[in-house]
């Protein structure tokens, strides 16, 4: 049935996307249509033992994992995954491997048959040990750090009896009827000696396709639960840093109210900027993780609702147990994220106020500087005027002295010429001549506005 679903999905990507209808087709239409058929439920019939692994992988690690799986399949003469495949199912008799690549993790689900001899004691729950069955997984290179390891056992309820509850911790046992009473599921969410979380499914009346849907949802619940909780260590790590910023910010604001002067304001602004940088660095690291935590928690909740639980007497259901244990962690992540957003707004407002005060103080300093420059200009102008007057007087004196010598020389030849009188008459004439010459020179140096206009 699953193979038929995959073939249908392939047909959607090639033939049924509208290429033969005479219309221009959107390039992504095939992928969009195929997405709803990408992960069909795998029918599970009879007694099964299922090992489920989830490894954290980035894009490069996922590509290497796909290539390694392709080589693994070709060595055993079974179809290999396509180069761009996100899922693949390999029939590795007697086991069946289902491989899936998700955004940040890759899963391997191994399905092993168990012979039904009619005697529950001979079959036994979770036997042989999961570590023995996991040897086949070790034949593939590990694509990344292991995060999820699940050992799921499917038994008929009449074969299990009552002793199966001894497989789990009595104080942490979670048991509920699912799928309208068609099966019983149980676990304690503890990892066993080999690191696997055990899930026991006791089938009553479920069909193979219903059992396949139930198993897939149970594996997804455990996977998404674990992935959702990845945000908690980061939230706990960021808590002290956020608390430090929350404590220091009011102190800086109080200093801002009490301090004056450009240097003090600049020092406070530098410190606020450093706090904002620290906060943004932590927020950028946690942004993806907290967003993923929220998404995985919602997916887990949806899968819990899909299995249709009804409680067993005096025992917690999966939904009740996980809500009680996981929800506080999710709220812790949400609280840290909210505190980051709140702190970011407060730091932004405080920094804006400080920048405004610094700008005002800078404008005040610039105004004082311009005023001082204006005063200096006035003093320079006065000094230039005084120097100009002294220069005219000095030049008049020297010119009058030269003319006096000239008049005395002429007086020796022409006694009638009074050198002193001639010098006295020449002084105002010399003064006027020098003043005229200086004005003419200054006028020649001053550019004509008409020349700029003509140019």
Q: Are residues 211 and 66 in the same domain?
A: yes
Per-residue confidence (pLDDT) for residue 116, from 0 to 100:
56
Q: How many residues does the chain have?
A: 455
Q: Are residues 160 and 85 in the same domain?
A: yes
Per-residue confidence (pLDDT) for residue 154, from 0 to 100:
94
Q: How far apart are CA 392 and CA 398, in angstroms?
A: 10
Q: Are residues 420 and 384 in the same domain?
A: yes
Per-residue confidence (pLDDT) for residue 1, from 0 to 100:
42
Q: Are residues 159 and 94 in the same domain?
A: yes
Q: Are residues 69 and 198 in the same domain?
A: yes
Low-confidence spans in the chain with pLDDT less than 70: 1-21, 37-38, 115-124, 445-455
Q: Is residue 452 part of a domain?
A: no
Distances (CA, A) of 30 to 40, 99, 215, 344: 17, 22, 29, 43
- For 192-250, the DSSP string reads -TTSPEEEEEEESS--HHHHHHHHHHHHHHHHHHHHHTTHHHHHHHHHHHHHHHHHHHH
Joined tokens for residue 149: 């390891």
Q: Are residues 183 and 104 in the same domain?
A: yes
Per-residue confidence (pLDDT) for residue 384, from 0 to 100:
75
Q: Are residues 323 and 428 in the same domain?
A: no
DSSP tag of 83? T
Per-residue confidence (pLDDT) for residue 445, from 0 to 100:
64
Per-residue confidence (pLDDT) for residue 310, from 0 to 100:
92
Q: How many domains does the chain have?
A: 4
Q: How far apart are CA 332 and CA 293, in angstroms?
A: 11
For the four alpha carbons of 372, 373, 374 and 375, in that order, the dihedral sign comes to positive
Q: Is residue 455 part of a domain?
A: no
Q: How far apart are CA 328 and CA 166, in angstroms?
A: 29
Per-residue confidence (pLDDT) for residue 330, from 0 to 100:
95
Q: Are residues 124 and 10 in the same domain?
A: no
Domain boundary among 369, 399, 427: 369
Label residue 350 exposed, middle or buried (CB < 10 Å: 0-12, 13-18, 19+). Answer: buried
Joined tokens for residue 307: 């299995």
- Domain of residue 12 covers 1-38
pTM of the predicted structure, to 2 decimals? 0.75
Q: Are residues 341 and 385 in the same domain?
A: no
Burial 403-428 (b: 16+ CB within 10 A, else e): bbeebeeeeeeeeeeebeebbeebee
Domain boundary among 223, 254, 270: 223
- Compute CA 455 distance to the chain's CA centroid, rounded to the nearest angstrom: 59
Distances (CA, A) of 428 to 401, 423, 438: 13, 9, 15
Q: Are residues 201 and 254 in the same domain?
A: no
Distances (CA, A) of 78 to 137, 174, 329, 346: 17, 39, 43, 60
Q: How far apart are CA 183 and CA 401, in angstroms?
A: 131
Joined tokens for residue 264: 């003090």
Per-residue confidence (pLDDT) for residue 9, from 0 to 100:
45
Per-residue confidence (pLDDT) for residue 381, from 0 to 100:
79
Joined tokens for residue 99: 């491989």
Q: Is residue 454 part of a domain?
A: no
For the four alpha carbons of 208, 214, 216 and 218, in that order, the dihedral sign comes to negative
Q: Are residues 176 and 283 in the same domain?
A: no
Per-residue confidence (pLDDT) for residue 450, from 0 to 100:
58
Per-residue confidence (pLDDT) for residue 2, from 0 to 100:
44
Reduce the DSSP state of residue 284 to 3 states and report it. Answer: helix
Q: Is residue 453 part of a domain?
A: no
Q: Are residues 194 and 247 in the same domain?
A: no
Per-residue confidence (pLDDT) for residue 197, from 0 to 100:
96
Domain boundary among 204, 223, 242: 223
């Amino acid at each position: 049935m699953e193979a038929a679903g995959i073939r249908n999905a392939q047909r959607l990507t090639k033939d049924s996307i509208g290429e033969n209808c005479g219309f221009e087709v959107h390039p992504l239409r095939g992928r969009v249509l195929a997405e709803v058929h990408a992960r069909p439920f795998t029918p599970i019939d009879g007694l099964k033992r299922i090992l489920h692994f989830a490894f954290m992988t980035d894009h490069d690690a996922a590509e290497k994992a796909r290539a390694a799986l392709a080589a693994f399949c070709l060595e055993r003469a079974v179809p290999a995954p396509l180069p761009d495949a996100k899922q693949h199912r390999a029939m590795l008799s007697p086991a069946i491997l289902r491989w899936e690549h998700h955004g940040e993790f890759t899963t391997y689900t191994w399905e092993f048959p168990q012979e039904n001899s009619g005697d529950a004691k001979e079959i036994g729950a979770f036997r042989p040990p999961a570590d023995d069955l996991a040897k086949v997984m070790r034949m593939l290179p590990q694509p990344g750090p292991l995060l999820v390891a699940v050992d799921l056992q499917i038994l008929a309820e009449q074969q299990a009896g009552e002793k199966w509850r001894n497989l789990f911790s009595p104080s942490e046992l979670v048991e509920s009827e699912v799928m309208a009473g068609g099966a019983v599921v149980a676990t304690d969410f503890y990892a066993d000696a080999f690191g696997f979380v055990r899930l026991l499914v006791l089938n009553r009346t479920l069909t193979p396709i219903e059992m396949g849907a139930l198993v897939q949802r149970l594996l997804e619940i455990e996977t998404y639960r674990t992935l959702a909780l990845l945000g908690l260590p980061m939230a706990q790590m960021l808590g002290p840093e956020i608390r430090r910023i929350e404590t220091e910010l009011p102190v800086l604001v109080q200093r801002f109210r009490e301090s004056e002067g450009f240097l003090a304001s600049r020092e406070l602004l530098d410190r606020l900027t450093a706090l904002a940088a620290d906060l943004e660095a932590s927020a950028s690291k946690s942004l993806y993780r907290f967003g993923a935590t929220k998404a995985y928690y919602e997916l887990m909740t949806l899968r819990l609702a899909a299995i249709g639980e009804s409680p067993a007497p005096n025992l917690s259901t999966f939904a009740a147990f996980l809500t009680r244990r996981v929800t506080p962690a999710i709220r812790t992540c949400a609280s840290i994220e909210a505190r980051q957003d709140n702190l970011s707004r407060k730091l932004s407002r405080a920094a804006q106020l400080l920048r405004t005060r610094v700008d005002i103080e800078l404008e005040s300093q610039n105004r004082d500087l311009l005023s001082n420059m204006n005063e200096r200009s006035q003093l320079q102008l006065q000094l230039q005027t005084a120097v100009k007057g002294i220069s005219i007087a000095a030049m008049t004196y020297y010119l009058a002295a030269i003319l006096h010598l000239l008049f005395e020389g002429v007086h020796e030849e022409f006694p009638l010429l009074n050198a002193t009188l001639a010098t006295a008459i020449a002084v105002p004439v010399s003064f006027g001549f020098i003043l005229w010459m200086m004005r003419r020179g200054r006028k020649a140096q001053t550019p004509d506005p008409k020349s700029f206009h003509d140019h």
